[in-house]
């Protein structure tokens, strides 16, 4: 599988991303020291670390089920190749600069299952909208849990039914992208085309999305509580903020720098020392990158499907 060459603006953003990663390495060494920062890993037993790793890899299994159930062409083959696709996509997406690894999804879908690029892009955009909604909803619920503010409860209740409303509107206004022009039309057209006609498949994709993120954020939140002194609710907020930074137009290589900044920015208002928050964020990020590489190795070990 070959990825398309990057344009000038992507190279520029990629260079900025590498610079942010380099800044993070220097800041951590001068502010904390890498030896002191990595010390909390000694408190994790092998069984705990292996359990966390297996649970996170299990959430990729849920993503594979979402993919297989959503794309009819993927139902012909077993779950193993769907998992291979998800792990390979996650590997490219997490390690290539500026989320250019997203390009791998339609290429892998076409290569593995013969799914058209336009259909795959539409499905991926729909998945990303469901991911973003789920993170925002779970984050609002966590903020209410932590602060007991009625405003965050109201936000969570308002956010909850939005996917169903969006599905109804997309079904009713399928011709809307044709009335638009430019990039907005190019972005909306594949999404509208990918939205299932019936509510059942859409709700199922949404349910797999929620299950994936609940499992993933729960593991990450638990790890933050082990890497520092904070409760599970704050750990959930920190993990949520870190993942939300992935939607930024510019972020560090493999998220380095921007991921940590998101975690620190959310935890600091709750009285968590910035240096301690940075240490927790870096250690969690190292775990995420480690699972990404292990997942990529697992994907490489699976024989590719021949059409």
User: How much is the pLDDT for 93?
Assistant: 87
- Decide if 291 is inside a domain: yes
Name the percent of the chain lying above pLDDT 90: 54
The string over 134-170, giving b where at least 16 C-beta atoms fall within 10 Å of a residue's C-beta and e elsewhere, is bbbbbbbbbbbbbeeeeebbebbeebeeebeebbeeb
Kindly state whether residue 4 falls inside one of the protein's structural domains.
Answer: no
Task: List the end-to-end C-alpha distance of the chain, in Å, as a whole number.
Answer: 14
pLDDT at 19: 60
Q: Residue 183: what pLDDT? A: 78
Average pLDDT, the chain: 86
**168-197 pLDDT per residue, tens:** 988 888 877 777 777 778 778 888 888 898
Closest CA to 23 of 257, 286, 244, 239: 257
- 6 secondary structure, DSSP code: P
The answer to whether 194 and 123 are in contact (CB under 8 A) is yes
Q: What is the pLDDT of residue 32?
A: 62
Residue at 89 is within a domain: yes
Tens-digit pLDDT profile for residues 85-107 = 999 999 998 887 666 778 899 99
Contact between 287 and 252 under an 8 Å Cβ cutoff? The reply is no
Determine the structural domain holding residue 287 and report its residue range. Answer: 9-33+55-171+198-301
Residue 49 lies in a domain: no
What's the burial of 183, exposed, middle or buried (CB within 10 Å: 0-12/13-18/19+)?
A: exposed
Q: What is the predicted pLDDT for the residue at 63?
A: 97
* Domain assignment of residue 187, yes or no: no
pLDDT computed for residue 35 by the predictor: 67
Does 182 map to a domain?
no
Residue 190 lies in a domain: no
The tens-digit pLDDT sequence of the chain (307 residues) is 554 554 555 545 555 555 655 665 666 556 566 666 777 888 888 999 999 999 999 999 999 999 999 998 888 778 999 999 999 999 998 887 666 778 899 999 999 999 999 899 999 999 999 999 999 999 999 999 999 999 999 999 999 999 999 999 888 888 777 777 777 787 788 888 888 989 999 999 999 999 999 999 999 999 999 998 899 999 999 999 998 887 665 556 666 678 888 999 999 999 998 888 988 998 999 899 889 989 999 999 999 887 7
Number of domains in the chain: 1
Place of tokens 């599905």: 167
Quick check: is 111 in a domain? yes
Give the dihedral of Cα atoms 95, 96, 101, 103; nearest 10 deg: -170
Distance from C-alpha of 298 to C-alpha of 277, rounded to nearest angstrom: 32
Residue 214 confidence (pLDDT): 97
Q: Look at residue 193 in the predicted model and tell me its pLDDT.
A: 86
pLDDT at 43: 83
Q: What angle do CA 240, 243, 247 make, to 5 degrees?
A: 125
Alpha helices in the chain (DSSP H): 8-31, 34-37, 46-70, 79-95, 104-113, 117-147, 150-159, 162-172, 182-194, 199-227, 232-244, 258-267, 274-301
């Amino acid at each position: 599988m070959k990825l398309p060459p990057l344009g000038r603006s992507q190279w520029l953003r990629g260079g900025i991303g590498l610079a942010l990663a380099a800044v993070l390495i220097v800041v951590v060494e001068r502010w904390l020291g890498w030896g002191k920062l990595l010390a909390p890993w000694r408190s994790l037993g092998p069984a705990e670390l292996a359990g966390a790793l297996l649970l996170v890899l299990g959430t990729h299994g849920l993503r594979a089920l979402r993919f297989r159930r959503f794309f009819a062409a993927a139902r012909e083959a077993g779950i193993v190749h769907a998992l291979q696709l998800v792990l390979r996509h996650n590997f490219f997406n997490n390690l290539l600069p500026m989320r250019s690894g997203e390009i791998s999804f339609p290429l892998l879908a076409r290569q593995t299952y013969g799914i058209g690029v336009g259909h795959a892009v539409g499905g991926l955009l729909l998945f990303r909208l469901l991911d973003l909604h789920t993170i925002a909803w779970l984050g609002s619920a966590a903020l209410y849990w932590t602060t007991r503010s009625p405003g965050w409860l109201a936000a969570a209740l308002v956010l909850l039914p939005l996917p169903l409303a969006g599905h109804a509107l997309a079904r009713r206004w399928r011709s809307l992208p044709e009335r638009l022009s430019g990039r907005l039309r190019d972005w909306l057209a594949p999404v509208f085309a990918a939205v299932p006609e019936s509510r059942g498949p859409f709700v199922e994709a949404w349910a797999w999305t929620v299950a994936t993120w609940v499992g993933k954020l729960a593991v990450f939140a638990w790890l933050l509580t082990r890497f520092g002194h904070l409760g599970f609710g704050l750990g959930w907020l920190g993990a949520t903020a870190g993942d939300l930074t992935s939607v930024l137009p510019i972020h560090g290589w493999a998220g380095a720098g921007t991921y940590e900044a998101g975690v620190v920015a959310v935890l600091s208002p709750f009285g968590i020392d910035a240096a301690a928050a940075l240490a927790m964020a870096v250690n969690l990020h190292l775990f995420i990158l480690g699972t990404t590489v292990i997942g990529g190795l697992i994907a490489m070990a699976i024989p590719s499907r021949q059409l």
